[in-house]
């Protein structure tokens, strides 16, 4: 079911995927994802108009008790897609290729030698020479109704891994 922003009705969404999750301050876990860009969308439902969801639209996910809500925004077109956990057949989160090649005696090189994790030391790569890069993170979601492929910045992989691991879905593959 694809809802346009004009069709937005709290009860329609709650009937599909439950109530919106609230922030648990003791755990400080995210209730939403970072932004993705939709690269491919295939609908298995012949009645569903897959032309409504535009390629390259900016998308985010929001946690609900029985599913996730996809917010899609392309120019002035805003769409919502409620996705039940039980409808998700496969979810793949694929980390982009990393290049770690710090210059000798650069700050990143020193931090790595001192044992600082790469997730922290990568922010001190220097700027002029390419000593660190990471490819886009891909997200592929297959449900009983559609299949979609999305990409986002590779620097957000760790937070997205945490977000998707917490979902009560059996077929989650996280490829590093």
Cβ contact 141:147 at 8 Å: yes
Residue-level pLDDT at 21: 77
Pairing type for strands 146-152 and 36-43 reads antiparallel
* Backbone torsions φ then ψ of 140, nearest 5 degrees: -120, 120
> pLDDT digits over 83-113, tens only?
999 999 999 999 999 888 888 888 888 899 9
- What predicted TM-score, i.e. pTM, was given to this entire model? 0.82
Q: b/e per residue, 126-141, with b = 16+ CB within 10 A?
A: eeeeebbebebbbbbb
pLDDT tens-place string over residues 18-62 = 888 776 666 666 677 889 999 999 887 766 656 678 889 999 999
Per-residue pLDDT at 88 = 93
| Tokens found for residue 85 | 């956990």
Provide mean pLDDT across the span 52-78. Answer: 88
């Amino acid at each position: 079911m694809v809802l346009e922003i004009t069709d937005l009705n709290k009860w329609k969404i709650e009937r599909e995927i439950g109530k919106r999750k609230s922030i648990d301050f003791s755990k400080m876990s995210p209730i939403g994802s970072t932004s993705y860009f939709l690269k491919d969308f295939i609908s298995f439902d012949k009645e569903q108009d897959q032309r409504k969801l535009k390629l390259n639209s900016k998308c985010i996910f929001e946690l609900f008790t029985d599913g996730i809500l996809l917010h899609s925004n392309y120019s002035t077109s805003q769409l919502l897609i409620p996705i039940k956990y039980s409808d998700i057949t496969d979810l793949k989160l694929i980390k982009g290729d990393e290049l770690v090649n710090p210059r000798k005696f650069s700050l990143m090189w020193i931090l790595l030698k001192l044992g600082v994790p790469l997730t922290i030391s990568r922010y001190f790569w220097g700027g002029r020479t390419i000593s660190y890069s990471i490819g886009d993170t891909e997200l592929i979601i297959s449900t009983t109704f559609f299949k979609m492929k999305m990409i986002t910045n590779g620097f957000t992989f760790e937070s997205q891994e945490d977000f998707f691991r917490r979902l009560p879905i059996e077929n989650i593959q996280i490829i590093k």
